[in-house]
């Protein structure tokens, strides 16, 4: 194998590798930029694969080779398409690129390898001009950025330039007919192509170790910027400003802002509202894509082509940007806010740019946190220094003053010797036990301990000998036999050689606190008993209310039936006497009576839900839902409804109550899709945040989410009776069933689009 063949094989391998990497990356993310990157390298990878096939098989499939040539001539045009993601090419360049591609492709189809000279010239000019312009494009983008993005854009520019150079050299090879010169020119062309492949590899698919080394260099530069100023003289706003400036330059952003989290407003707010945001408030909508990224604490790229909220769209309009990169400024201990970098067009290396911004933001957050810790430590150091000075001054006081302080302290001081005899007590200690200092000096601590004095004192003395300090509560017995509760802090006393010579106890009187604790404990016990009694009373009242509701509902039936019956009798027996207005009034009485009857029925069902004895069992929700669907369809067979009911939805629940809930939900869906010529009603189950969630979805009238909180209240209706019949009790019944199962229910909808009701069990 010659050197030229080896270089060719290596070049083809790199292009195939690039095509595979970029295509897999597109399949993972599926966005427009990655798609154009993949197309550009697939055009070169396809050529390499076809060449491999021809070499391995020893045969050439004409149409396949022609397809490879067309893919190859598409490369400059696809490169130009890619470059326009972060800048705009002049219209004449775009037209020339498209025309060059079409003419070259048509020429190859018509003439194959024997293309006329003019078409060959157009082909070479097309490659040189478009790839050359793409090179300028990438270089211009590199000058607007710093760090890793600049390096990668320079490699991309080098790849385009080398490809253009390769075609320029190929053109010279066709003109210069000297064999030796042609061989040299061919080798130079091959070297240009392999260098272009390597440059593209380093630009669009650099190995991880290389990316890390680039990022480390940029990170060191950023850390050097932050550490170049005195911590004391730089506040948070200035360091965030340094972050904005560096981050914007790193990814070629037009503007960079920070939004800090406000604990008071529980929202993100812009760090500063300047002239670039004249009509913007400080607070960022929590429903915006920026707010969603903050909740997830994850970097994100927001493009104008995404499903933007009004806030996001207005922000991009004001900033004159097509996209923005947002990344949280957080550490494990503290979340500061978000870094927002606005791009006039787009980012060619979205993953890298987000990763770089996340790295810069995290390091800035760490430095901010460290600065806060340094400030706190500096304050503590000053406090400690003050305390040391105070204690040094205190140590310089005379022994008399020291003794006077001991005598006037509010804590008792009691020292014992190595054999556990009293060696010193201050007056406060003697007063607490109702003794004189002299009486205590001839006593031992065990004599004043209320319970198991000798044993307890012996154990504590042994712990002091072992060098152990303790703090504990202890009950003493005063001289007058009354009790004294004290908080004792006991420590061993050692001589200069570290030999145990006794113990020191600081004793604080906590008798009043103990009495207060006992009183509080008694009060808590009394309150718990009151809660039990009130709960029982409330339960009894609830039962009385349910019984009253049930009784009243039954008692209302008789007059309603009478009103309905008499109205019907009048309409039937006196229809020839009544005029149209009278008949209308009687019919309205009948309709109102029947509607009231339905309302009473629903109230009875609602009260029965509460009184029903709960019985859990294995329930096939799919079978129940199909039965309800069949019954509804049988009532109105002329309706066209597509029922989608998931199989094998089995739950441990109360069968009757869930039947009531599903009947109401599916009947609601049936009712609110009645005005659709073709409707769809779906019942299934999904998983949200590790929780099984059931849902009923329809394509009916829907509702305004602004009134979602009213859906499950009794007698609440979002549609008039003339639009859709009903009493407003059904969803309240469903909510009560779900509550009895320990679950929750909520709804999502859109007017004239449909609604989805979710519930858990």
Judged on CB neighbours under 10 Å (0-12, 13-18, 19+), 228 is exposed
What does DSSP say about strands 678-688 and 640-645: parallel, antiparallel, or unpaired?
parallel
- Report helix, strand or coil for 59: coil
pLDDT value at residue 274: 45
- The overall longest dimension of the chain from CA atoms, in Å, is 126
Round to whole Å and give the CA distance between 138 and 126: 18
Alpha-carbon distances, residue 615 vs 483, 618, 622, 655, 745 (angstroms)? 57, 10, 19, 8, 21
Measured distance CA(290)–CA(323) in Å, rounded: 12
> Shortest CA distance to 585 belongs to which of 596, 570, 598?
570
Nearest to 695 by CA among 747, 628, 619, 630: 747
Residues whose CB is less than 8 angstroms from the CB of residue 136 and which lie 6 or more positions away in sequence, other chains included: 157
pLDDT tens for each residue of 621-631? 999 999 999 99
pLDDT score recorded for residue 220: 66
What sections of 176-288 are H helices per DSSP? 179-204, 208-227, 236-251
Secondary structure of 16-58 as H, E, C letters = HHHHHHHHHHHHHHCCHHHHHHHHHHHHHHHHHHHHHHHHHHC
CB atoms under 10 Å from CB of 252, counted, come to: 25
Nearest-angstrom CA–CA distance, 245 and 29: 29
C-beta separation of 331 from 366 below 8 A: yes
> What pLDDT, on the 0 to 100 scale, is given for residue 174?
56
C-alpha 172/C-alpha 165 separation (Å) is 11
Token couple for 581: 């207005």
Map tokens 């059931």 to a residue: 694
Q: Would you state the pLDDT for residue 164? A: 80
Cα 53 to Cα 47, 57, 73: the distances in Å are 10, 6, 19
- What distance in Å separates the CA atoms of residue 282 and residue 274, rounded to the nearest whole number? 10
Three-state SS at 404:
helix
> Would you state the pLDDT for residue 171?
66
Distance, CA of 754 to CA of 210 (rounded, Å): 52
User: What is the crossing angle of helices 147-175 and 208-227, to 10°?
Assistant: 130
Report mean pLDDT in 10-residue bins for the chain, 761 residues: 69 82 80 77 82 79 78 82 73 82 76 61 78 81 73 82 78 62 70 80 74 67 64 65 77 80 81 52 78 88 83 83 87 84 75 80 82 79 83 70 72 89 89 90 89 89 91 91 91 89 91 87 88 76 63 66 77 80 79 67 62 80 94 92 94 89 92 92 94 95 86 69 68 88 92 94 88
Cβ burial, residue 756 (10 Å; 0-12/13-18/19+): middle
Q: Cβ neighbours of residue 495 under 8 Å, at least 6 residues apart?
A: 501
Q: What is the DSSP string of 289-358?
A: HHHHHHHHT--EEEETTS---HHHHHHHHHHT-SEEEEEEEE-SS-EEEEEEEEESS--SSHHHHHHHHH
CA distance 190 to 167: 10
What pLDDT is recorded for position 262?
A: 81
Query: Is the Cβ–Cβ distance between 671 and 639 less than 8 Å?
Result: no
What residue ranges define each of the domains in the chain, with the CATH number in brackets?
A: 3-203 (1.20.1070), 214-375 (3.30.450.40), 401-509 (3.30.450.20), 530-596 (no CATH), 612-759 (3.30.565.10)
Give the length of the chain.
761
Report the pLDDT value the prediction gives residue 679, as an integer from 0 to 100: 95
The rounded distance, in Å, linking the Cα atoms of 365 and 247 is 14
How far is the C-alpha of 504 from the C-alpha of 499, rounded, in Å?
A: 15
Residue tagged 């066709």 (tokens): 174
CA dihedral 195, 197, 203, 209 (to 10 degrees): -90
Write the pLDDT tens digit of every residue in 679-731. 999 999 999 988 999 999 999 999 988 888 888 876 666 665 556 776 667 78
Residue 746 confidence (pLDDT):
94
Q: Please provide residue 184's backbone torsions phi and psi, each rounded to the nearest 5 degrees.
A: -65, -45
**3-class SS letters over 474-543:** EEEECCCCCEEEEEEEEEEEECCCCCEEEEEEEEEECHHHHHHHHHHHHHHHHHHHHHHHHHHHHHHHHH
């Amino acid at each position: 194998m010659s050197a030229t063949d080896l270089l060719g094989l290596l070049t083809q391998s790199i292009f195939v590798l690039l095509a595979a990497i970029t295509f897999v990356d597109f399949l993972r993310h599926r966005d427009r930029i990655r798609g154009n990157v993949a197309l550009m390298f697939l055009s070169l990878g396809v050529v390499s694969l076809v060449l491999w096939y021809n070499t391995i098989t020893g045969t050439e499939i004409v149409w396949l080779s022609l397809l490879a040539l067309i893919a190859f001539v598409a490369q400059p045009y696809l490169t130009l398409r890619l470059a326009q993601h972060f800048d705009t090419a002049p219209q004449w360049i775009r037209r020339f690129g498209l025309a060059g591609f079409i003419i070259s492709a048509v020429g190859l189809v018509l003439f194959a390898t024997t293309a006329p000279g003019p078409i060959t010239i157009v082909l070479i000019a097309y490659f040189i001009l478009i790839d050359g312009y793409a090179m300028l494009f990438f270089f211009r983008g590199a000058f607007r950025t710093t760090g890793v993005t600049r390096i990668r854009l320079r490699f991309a520019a080098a790849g385009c330039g080398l490809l253009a150079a390769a075609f320029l050299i190929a053109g010279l090879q066709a003109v210069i007919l000297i064999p030796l010169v042609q061989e040299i020119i061919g080798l130079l062309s091959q070297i240009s192509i392999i260098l272009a492949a390597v440059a593209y590899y380093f630009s669009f698919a650099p190995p991880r170790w290389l990316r890390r080394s680039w990022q480390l260099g940029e990170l060191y530069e950023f850390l050097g910027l932050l550490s170049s100023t005195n911590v004391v003289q730089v506040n948070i706003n200035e360091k965030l400003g340094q972050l904005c400036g560096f981050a914007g330059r790193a990814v070629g952003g037009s503007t960079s802002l920070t939004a800090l989290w406000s604990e008071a407003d529980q929202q993100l707010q812009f760090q500063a509202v300047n002239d670039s945001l004249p009509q913007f408030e400080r607070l960022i909508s929590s429903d915006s894509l920026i707010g969603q990224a903050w909740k997830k604490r994850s970097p994100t790229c927001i493009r104008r082509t995404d499903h933007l909220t009004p806030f996001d769209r207005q922000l991009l309009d004001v900033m004159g940007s097509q996209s923005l990169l947002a990344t949280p400024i957080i550490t494990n201990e503290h979340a500061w806010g978000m870094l927002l970098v606005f791009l006039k067009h787009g980012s060619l290396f979205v993953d890298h740019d987000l990763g770089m911004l996340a790295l810069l933001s995290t390091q800035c957050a760490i430095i901010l946190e460290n600065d806060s810790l340094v400030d706190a430590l500096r304050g503590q150091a000053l406090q400690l220094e003050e305390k040391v000075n105070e204690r040094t001054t205190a140590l310089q006081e005379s022994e008399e003053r020291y003794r006077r302080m001991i005598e006037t302290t509010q804590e008792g001081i009691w020292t014992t010797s190595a054999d556990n005899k009293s060696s010193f007590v201050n007056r406060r200690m003697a007063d607490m036990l109702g003794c004189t200092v002299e009486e205590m000096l001839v006593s031992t601590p065990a004599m004043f301990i209320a319970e198991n004095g000798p044993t307890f004192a012996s154990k504590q003395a042994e712990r002091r000998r072992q060098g152990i300090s303790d703090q504990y509560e202890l009950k003493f017995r005063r001289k007058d036999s009354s009790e004294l509760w004290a908080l004792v802090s006991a420590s061993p006393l050692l001589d200069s050689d570290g030999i145990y010579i006794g113990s020191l106890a600081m004793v604080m009187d906590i008798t009043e606190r103990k009495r207060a604790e006992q009183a509080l404990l008694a009060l808590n016990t009394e309150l718990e008993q009151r809660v039990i009694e009130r709960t029982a009373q409330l339960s009894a009242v609830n039962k009385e209310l349910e019984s009253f509701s049930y009784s009243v509902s039954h008692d209302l039936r008789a007059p309603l039936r009478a009103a309905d019956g008499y109205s019907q009798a009048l309409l039937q027996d006196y229809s020839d006497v009544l005029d149209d207005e009278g008949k209308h009034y009687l019919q309205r009485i009948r309709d109102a009576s029947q509607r009231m009857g339905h309302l009473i029925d629903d109230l009875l069902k609602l009260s029965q839900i509460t009184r029903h004895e709960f019985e859990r069992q294995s329930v096939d929700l799919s079978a129940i839902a199909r039965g309800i669907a069949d019954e509804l369809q049988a009532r109105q067979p002329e309706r066209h409804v597509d029922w989608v009911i998931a199989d094998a939805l089995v739950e441990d629940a109360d069968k009757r109550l869930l039947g009531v809930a599903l009947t109401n939900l599916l009947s609601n869906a049936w009712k609110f899709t009645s005005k659709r010529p073709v409707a769809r009603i779906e019942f299934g189950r999904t998983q949200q945040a590790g929780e099984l969630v059931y849902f009923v979805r329809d394509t009916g009238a829907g509702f305004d989410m602004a009134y979602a909180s009213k859906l499950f209240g009794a007698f609440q209706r979002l549609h008039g009776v003339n639009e859709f019949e009903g009493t407003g009790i059904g969803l309240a019944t469903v909510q009560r069933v779900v509550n009895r199962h320990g679950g929750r229910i909520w709804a999502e909808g859109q007017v004239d689009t449909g609604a989805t009701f979710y519930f858990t069990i």
